[in-house]
């Protein structure tokens, strides 16, 4: 039985760090275990220009402990007013690594998002020309579409036609939750990829709804049926370079989730690597974890590998992760995978 695994230091290719006090509290959890993270721009107000992304990057760097080797990779929030030249400038500088498409109203802080992709085609064409990836929250927002169908319908009605219109555009379909998402990515060339979260490999929709509503398992896109979770697991352990880790770790205060209208988002930065080692061991695919967490995402974004390594060690007794993290008078509730975590994370120097 394998009880030790050494992998290249991982990257988190989809992460929410927020701002202010929240940023200060959560950043060290990511920078402890990850070399880089693609940081989402859905602040209030959103990060919509290169200058705003630069200022946000500086605030993030100010909250990284000095002994953590960590680089935030910045994104800009696509609006119908985005200036392609501003993106080109940020990309040339090496600052902007992706542009996030939120269909307006799809999720937390997405009100400034795009109402119709046809209104942003000139921006997308420029992005294809300069190799800047489009990071997509792939859900339709029409009220008549059932929430469990919103990813599939987005793929069929918006993503597939867009991909045919601009076949060279680099696309990451973020946090896929369905077999449809997996199949779509597999049907494309390798300029189309997908992130998969830790929690979508572990929970299905029963976890949210059976025996009472469990708001800490609620996120968007919402977890789907078991067959979809299994499809995500197969993709994650397949070794296919188009699938890589993006935790979508998204902190909210416990109070704002345990509410009559609770926020979407699951906080997993602190225990993600332990959860993933558990999942990959369960799938008898521990040797595929490094590709998923450390190699495929870097390759897609054209990054060299992190110089450091990470050692995962299976302990006799469960590793002690906090259930909650203090934030002022409030807390953030940590993702509970529903099983004890035996894999401990040790960061090795370069
Ligand atoms: O569950 C989610 N939370 N999904 C998203 O797309 C956004 C995120 C957040 O920012 O809280
Ligand atoms: Zn997200």
Q: State how far the Cα of 52 lies from the Cα of 77, in Å rounded to an integer.
A: 10
Number of H helices, E strands in the chain: 13, 13
- Between the alpha carbon of residue 341 and those of residues 143, 251, 277, the distances in Å are 39, 21, 9
Place of tokens 């992304």: 53
Tell me, yes or no, whether 2 lies in a domain: no
Residue ID of nearest Cα to ligand 1 atom 10: 108
Tell me, yes or no, whether 115 lies in a domain: yes
Ligand lying nearest the CA atom of residue 18 = 1
Total-model pTM: 0.98
Distance 3 CA to ligand 2 centre (A): 32
Query: In whole angstroms, how large is the CA radius of gyration of the chain?
Result: 19
Distance 218 CA to ligand 1 centre (A): 10
Tell me the best of 17, 77, 248 to mutate to test the pocket of ligand 1, counting ligand atoms within 8 Å of each CB and taking the most: 248
Q: State how far the Cα of 18 lies from the Cα of 6, in Å rounded to an integer.
A: 31
Pocket of ligand 1 (CB under 6 A): 16, 42, 107-108, 137, 219-220, 250, 264-265
Over the stretch 224-272, which tens digit does the pLDDT of each residue have? Answer: 999 999 999 999 999 999 999 999 999 999 999 999 999 999 999 999 9
Over the stretch 320-337, which tens digit does the pLDDT of each residue have? Answer: 999 999 999 999 999 999
| Rounded average pLDDT over 190-214 | 98
Q: Supply the mean pLDDT for the chain.
A: 97
Confidence of residue 1 (pLDDT cuts 50, 70, 90): confident
Confidence of residue 279 (pLDDT cuts 50, 70, 90): very high
Any catalytic annotation for residue 344?
no
| Rounded average pLDDT over 146-160 | 98
Angle, helices 50-62 vs 20-33, to 10°: value is 70
HEC string of 34-62 equals CCEEEECCCCCCCCCCHHHHHHHHHHHHH
Tell me, yes or no, whether 333 lies in a domain: no
Give the residue among 175, 152, 131, 153 at the shortest CA–CA distance from 40.
Answer: 175
Tell me the best of 135, 219, 267 to mutate to test the pocket of ligand 1, counting ligand atoms within 8 Å of each CB and taking the most: 219
Over the stretch 69-95, which tens digit does the pLDDT of each residue have? Answer: 999 999 999 999 999 999 999 999 999
Distance 4 CA to ligand 2 centre (A): 31
Tell me the best of 26, 77, 107, 253 to mutate to test the pocket of ligand 1, counting ligand atoms within 8 Å of each CB and taking the most: 107
Distance 175 CA to ligand 2 centre (A): 7
CB 42 within 8 A of CB 110: yes
Tell me, yes or no, whether 296 lies in a domain: yes
CB 18 within 8 A of CB 43: yes
Distance 219 CA to ligand 1 centre (A): 6
Tell me, yes or no, whether 346 lies in a domain: no
Residue 256, preceding peptide bond in cis (omega within 30° of 0): no
- Between the alpha carbon of residue 290 and those of residues 190, 251, 282, the distances in Å are 19, 25, 15
Q: Would the pLDDT of 110 be above 90?
A: no
Domain total of the chain: 1
Task: Report pLDDT for 188.
Answer: 98
Residue ID of nearest Cα to ligand 1 atom 3: 265
Ligand lying nearest the CA atom of residue 253 = 1
Task: Report pLDDT for 106.
Answer: 72
Residue ID of nearest Cα to ligand 1 atom 7: 108
Tell me, yes or no, whether 98 lies in a domain: yes
Q: State how far the Cα of 323 lies from the Cα of 226, in Å rounded to an integer.
A: 26
User: Helix (H, G, I), strand (E, B), or coil: what is residue 40?
Assistant: coil
Confidence of residue 2 (pLDDT cuts 50, 70, 90): confident
Q: State how far the Cα of 242 lies from the Cα of 232, in Å rounded to an integer.
A: 12
Give the residue among 190, 151, 177 at the shortest CA–CA distance from 229.
Answer: 177
Give the residue among 26, 81, 19 at the shortest CA–CA distance from 45.
Answer: 19
Over the stretch 162-171, which tens digit does the pLDDT of each residue have? Answer: 999 999 999 9
Q: Is the CA virtual torsion 143, 149, 155, 161 positive or negative?
A: negative
Residue 284: which CATH number? 3.20.20.140
Q: State how far the Cα of 266 lies from the Cα of 252, in Å rounded to an integer.
A: 8
Task: Report pLDDT for 104.
Answer: 86
Where in the sequence is the domain holding 65, given as residue range(s)? 11-304
Tell me, yes or no, whether 237 lies in a domain: yes
DSSP conformation letters of 261-326? TPPP-BB-TTTHHHHHHHHHHHTT-GGGHHIIIIIHHHHHTTPPPPS-EEEEEE-SS-----SEEE
Q: Structure tokens of 339?
A: 């099983």
| Rounded average pLDDT over 196-221 | 98
Task: Report pLDDT for 340.
Answer: 98
Ligand lying nearest the CA atom of residue 220 = 1
Q: Which of 33, 240, 248, 336 is catalytic?
A: 248
Residue ID of nearest Cα to ligand 1 atom 2: 265
Residues 6+ apart with CB under 8 A from 285: 237
Tell me, yes or no, whether 300 lies in a domain: yes
* Nearest atom (ligand 1) to Cα of 221: 4
Q: Structure tokens of 213?
A: 């509503």
Task: Report pLDDT for 113.
Answer: 85
């Amino acid at each position: 039985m394998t009880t030790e695994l050494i992998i290249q230091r991982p990257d988190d290719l989809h992460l929410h760090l927020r701002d202010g006090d929240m940023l200060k509290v959560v950043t060290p959890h990511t920078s402890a275990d990850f070399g880089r993270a693609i940081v989402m721009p859905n602040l209030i107000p959103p990060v919509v220009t290169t200058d705003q992304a630069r200022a946000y990057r500086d605030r993030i760097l100010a909250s990284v402990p000095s002994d953590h080797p960590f680089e935030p990779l910045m994104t800009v929030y696509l609006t119908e007013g985005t200036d392609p030249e501003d993106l080109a400038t940020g990309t040339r500088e090496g600052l902007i690594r992706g542009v996030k498409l939120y269909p307006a109203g799809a999720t937390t802080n997405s009100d400034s998002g795009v109402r119709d992709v046809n209104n942003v085609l000139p921006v997308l064409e420029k992005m294809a020309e300069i190799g800047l990836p489009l990071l997509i929250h792939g859900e339709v927002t029409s009220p008549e579409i059932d929430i469990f169908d919103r990813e599939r319908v987005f793929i069929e009605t918006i993503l597939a036609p867009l991909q045919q219109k601009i076949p060279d555009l680099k696309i990451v379909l973020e946090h896929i939750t369905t077999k449809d998402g997996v199949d779509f990515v597999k049907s494309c060339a390798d300029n189309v990829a997908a992130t998969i979260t830790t929690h979508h490999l572990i929970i299905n929709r029963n976890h949210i709804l059976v025996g009472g509503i469990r708001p800490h398992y609620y996120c968007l896109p919402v977890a789907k049926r078991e067959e979809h979770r299994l499809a995500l697991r197969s993709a994650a352990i397949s070794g296919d370079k188009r699938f890589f880790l993006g935790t979508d770790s998204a902190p909210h205060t416990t109070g704002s989730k345990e509410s009559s209208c609770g926020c979407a988002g699951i906080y997993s930065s602190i225990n993600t690597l332990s959860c993933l080692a558990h999942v990959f061991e369960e799938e008898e695919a521990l040797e595929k974890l490094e590709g998923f967490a450390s190699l495929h995402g870097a390759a897609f974004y054209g990054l060299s590998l992190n110089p450091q390594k990470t050692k995962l060690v299976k302990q006799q007794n469960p590793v002690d992760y906090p259930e909650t993290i203090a934030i002022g008078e409030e807390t953030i509730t940590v993702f509970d995978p529903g099983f004890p975590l035996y894999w401990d994370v040790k960061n090795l120097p370069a």
